[in-house]
Structures are given as structure tokens and as C-alpha cells.
Structure 1
Amino acid sequence: MEHFQDWLLNLSPLVVHLLLFLLLLIEGIGTPGIPFEALWVVEGIFIHQGKATLPEAILWGTLGNWLGNLIGYLLGDRISRYLPKRARESLGIEEVRSLFNRWGVGVVLFSRWMGLIRTPTILYAGAIGMPFWKYAFWSFIGALSWVGIWQVGCWYFGSLVLEWWDKYKIYIVLFGILVGAIGVWTVIRKRKPNDAPSLDP
């Protein structure tokens, strides 16, 4: 990781922006294991050096990830139409439908932080009937918040934030789930008994 980071530091900021855009686009489609974290750290170093600004670093990452999300949505929607029912069930489309029926568009937001459901949510949002424009809006909010928080963290704390994530990620994720669950529970309590979550505009 350190050698890769040192190599990146010798590149121009524009090249690093483009690499971040590309890797987060690939990740945004639903591809796991993309090594983009070092780019956030390098962007943070460039910001400290005055070679880049925080808004442009967040913008490049957000646009790449958001575009990847849209591509993943369209691919999943098109491919799922040609799959037999048994294949659709084995891929977990019905599980994603259940998540959306229970939590609504909130799934698009909190799935950004949970790898196990992030890829299925991206690929099957269209297959379960979520309108493209609605997915585009909420996936942009999700990408902006995810990229923004990580980029601010890597700018302010550098590689230390990645070390903390590796060491404490299970607790961070559990805390995030707890906070999200409390928020959803609060909203549900305020809903009328006959209200039901809907994906309709």
C-alpha cells in the first residue's frame, strides 16, 4: 500500500482525480475489492499541499461512484428481465425487494456502508421496480455522503483513518446500524397505522 501511495504522490493531481473517478466508477457498478482507499489518502495530502481542494476531490469521487451506480442499476435491470424465476430467486432479488418494502429508499443510503447488501442493492433496484429517476437521486445522495465522509476523514487524519477502519470497522458498522435503526424506528412510530412504505413517486 505504501509503495502504491508513493507512486501516486508522483502523479499530477488531475491524473489522481481521474484514477479516483475510474476506480470508484468500477466500484459503483457493484465490483467488490477495488483498492481505491490510497487515492483518498493521496487526495488528502494534495489538499494539504495546496495542489487540490476538498470540494473537487469529493466531486470527482462522487461523480465516479454515482455514474457506476447508474450503470449497475441499468445492467441489473436489463439482465434480470431475461432470467427465469428460479435464477432470480437464487440471486437474491427477492431479498432486495423485501429490504425495499421494509425500509424504502433508505436502503440505497445505508447500503453504501454495508458491503453485503451494497452490490445486490445496486444491481437489483431496477429489477424490483424502483424508478430510475428516484434511484438516481438517492444514489447521488448516498455517493456524496459516502465519498464526502471518507474524503474528509482521509484529508484530516490521513492514513490513520484507514488503520482505524481496519481495526474497528465491525464496531463502526454496528454503531451505524444502531443509529440508523433508531432513526427508522422513530419514523415508523410517527407513521399512521395504515401507512405503508412505497417505491412509487
Structure 2
Amino acid sequence: MTDLILSLAADYGVPLLFVITFLSCLALPVPSSLLMLAGGGFAAAGDLTLAAVVAAAISGALIGDNLGFLIARRMGLRLDDWLLRRPRRAALRAQSEAYMDKWGSSSIFFSRWLVAPFGPYVNYVSGLSGVNWPRFALWGMAGEIVWVGLYVGLGYGFADNIAAISSLLGNLSGFLAALVAAAGLGLWMRHAIRVRAAARRHA
């Protein structure tokens, strides 16, 4: 799979990177991180222009983020029903909402790059919950600049070890997302226990 992706990146380069980062921000399962690493690697080799790689990745991600936000704002309950229809989507939606409740605006920033699996779902939750759009767009742009800079920069600096870097970053991102989900579940359970204890005291 990695060889195929690298081959596609070599053949289609910047336009492919734009499309893939756009789709990834709409929660479609595409290898955006690996393609950004590959784009950085091809830029280091002189096959692509670094500025074009960065511009394509950032613009694709920003358009995807804001489109996901606006879809959620417009579709409301219909999108929420779609998210809840599959257990995995429902779990990510619930974890993203807990993440938003705990961290506020900074959750938009950190879900772009630190816990990237939550990113598209934070977009949807932000739109569903009525987050102010300029605030969402500003924090999202800041996070996407970090995300793209990190992956393209690592691809540029470690062009000979893209597969290993991709695996390492994927495992780290998954671990951090699981850690955040566990923390959110722990907070929810603590709140539920307190509510139940208060109800018993007043019974």
C-alpha cells in the first residue's frame, strides 16, 4: 500500500495532495499524512516545489474543515443521525464532543494535528453545537498550519525513511486519541457518579 501511495504521489503530486487532505477533513479514510510526508520527500528530491506542496495541503485541509463545519451547521440533525448510525462513527462523535466540552476552542486547534483522528468529527460537532464560525476558522487554520508543517517538514528532512516515520506518527496519534477518549470517559463516569450520589442524598 505504501509503495502504491508513493507512486501516486510521484505521478500526480500537488493536485492529489490537495484532494486527499480535503477528503481526510471530511472523515473519509484516506492516507493524508503519508501523502504529506511523500510530498515533503519529493520536494527534498527536487521533483516538487516545497511551497506548492505546503499550499496544496493547507488549502485542501482548510476547505475540507470549513465545508464539514458548514455541512453540520446546515444539515443539523440529519448529519447527527448519520454519525450515530455506525458504532465507530458514534464513538468518535461522542469522544469529540467530550473533547470539545473539556478543552473549548483549543480543542479545534489540537484536533488538527495532536489528536488528528478526532479532527473531522470536531468539525461536525462544532457546526452542530453552534460554535462561532470565525473562531472555528481561525483556530482550525492555526492547527492545519502546524499539521502540514509537521508532516511535510518531516518528509522533507527524512526523505529516505518516509514509511518508518509515517508508522511512528500514526501510532503516536492513535495512542494520544485513545488517551483523550479514556480521559473523557473517566470524566463522564465521575460526573455520573456524583449526580447519582446527589440524587440519593436528596431522596
TM-score by length of 2: 0.68
Alpha-carbon separation, structure 2, partners of 1:83 and 1:61: 26
- Structure 2: gaps (5+ residues): 85-89, 180-203
Q: Deviations over 1:42-62 (max 9, x none)?
A: 423432233433232111101
1:76 aligns to 2:104 (yes or no): no
2:20 corresponds to: 23
1:137 aligns to 2:138 (yes or no): yes
Alpha-carbon separation, structure 1, partners of 2:46 and 2:17: 18
- Structure 1: gaps (5+ residues): 179-201
Q: Deviations over 1:58-89 (max 9, x none)?
A: 111010011000111111222224579xx599
1:187 corresponds to: none
Cα RMSD for the two superposed structures: 3.2
1:48-197 → structure 2 map (5 Å cutoff): 48-82=44-78, 87=81, 90=84, 91=90, 96-112=96-112, 113-158=114-159, 160-167=161-168, 169-171=170-172
1:29 counterpart letter in structure 2: L
Q: Which moved more, 1:64-73 or 1:168-177?
A: 168-177
Instruction: Decide whether the 8 Å contact of 1:30 with 1:69 is kept in 2.
Output: no
Alpha-carbon separation, structure 1, partners of 2:24 and 2:82: 23
Instruction: Decide whether the 8 Å contact of 1:29 with 1:70 is kept in 2.
Output: no
Higher helix fraction (1 or 2):
2
Alpha-carbon separation, structure 2, partners of 1:71 and 1:6: 29
Alpha-carbon separation, structure 2, partners of 1:66 and 1:131: 16
Q: Deviations over 1:98-156 (max 9, x none)?
A: 43332111111221232542232011101112111111111111111101100000111
Alpha-carbon separation, structure 1, partners of 2:97 and 2:168: 33
Instruction: Decide whether the 8 Å contact of 2:36 with 2:155 is kept in 1.
Output: yes
Alpha-carbon separation, structure 2, partners of 1:152 and 1:130: 31
TM-score by length of 1: 0.69
Count of residues in Structure 1 that have an aligned counterpart in Structure 2: 171
Identical pairs, percent = 18
Alpha-carbon separation, structure 1, partners of 2:56 and 2:115: 22
